[in-house]
Amino acid sequence: MDQIFEKFRTLPVEEQLSPALTRRRYADFPVLVVDHPRAGQACLSLQGGQLVSWRPAGARPDDPGVLWSADPDLWRRGTAVRGGVPLCWPWFGPSGPAGSPSHGFARTTDWELTGWEEDADRVVVECTLRPSEATRALWPEEFVLVVRYTLTDSCLIEIEDRGDHTATAALHTYVRIGDLGRAHLAGLGPEHTDGITRRRYEDEDGTLTPVDHVERFQTAPAPVTTVRDEVLGRIVALAHHDHSDVVVWNPGAELARGMADLAPQEHRHFLCAETARVGRPLVAEEGRPGRLAVELRMTEL
């Protein structure tokens, strides 16, 4: 059972956009809810244009959903929602101007719902972010940033960055896991830079089982990262497209204690495997948008 979906599905419907897609509101967050017999169940926050839950239609009844998200009671307007798949753009990490939000302003800004489609096998949702006075105060570039979610038996997330500029970006996927230390990553590639020690490592086998704080920039990743979960009895595969890096992150116990939107021990129930353009930034040119995508798929063990 996906707790975010179960909470959001009971909210009053503000607008029935299609048979499976509704617009609702959780506190002061505008949200979208998808409930489709073949495309599964999903929830999105229009702040951040962000997928916060997805559970494929073929999942076991007791499956908690592919994505971990913080309890919505801990969400705060104007603060990035922790969980789901945050869209980090136009910079990654703390590399923006002084006083600017970490990972850019796309996560904390309201997006516009600009399109949707539905048929017997899929639901497609498109959201768009455009410049405003607030964004220009942080980043002077003109842009049109589009995110498109295609839900079938998989979940495809695509961003298209239009304009004439350079940016760094990541699709910061929080994969839900049963317990830290019992979920195993593969497909990370032979080399990485440790974000904690800044040391570089090579000649590795591309596997990792995190047990505490981890921050790794995998600089030669395989096209697909897998998370094999002993506790939940499943494998989540992330097929990356147009990426340069995969970032692996978990705050560990000590850092998690200082995070207001993490309940005690919640850090043990997610691993972030991020589809990123950090080492090779996104370049958007007239008629040639920058692109980045990930496709999520779940199979049982």
Q: Annotated active-site positions, please?
A: 172, 274
Instruction: Read off the DSSP letter of residue 17.
Output: E
DSSP 136-149: HHH----EEEEEEE
Per the CB < 8 A criterion, the answer to whether 161 and 283 are in contact is no
Query: Which residues are CB-contacts of 269 (< 8 A; sequence separation ≥ 6)?
Result: 68, 176, 177, 178, 179, 180
| CA distance readout (Å), 63 to 3, 59, 137, 189, 195 | 10, 6, 43, 29, 32
Residue at token pair 């607008």 = 15
263 alpha carbon, distance to own chain's centre: 20
Residue 136 — φ and ψ, nearest 5°? Answer: -65, -25
DSSP-derived 3-state class of residue 107 = coil
| CA distance readout (Å), 222 to 43, 142, 226, 237 | 29, 33, 10, 12
Residue 283 — φ and ψ, nearest 5°? Answer: -120, 120
Query: Which of 19, 13, 282, 293 has the alpha carbon at shortest distance from 154?
Result: 293
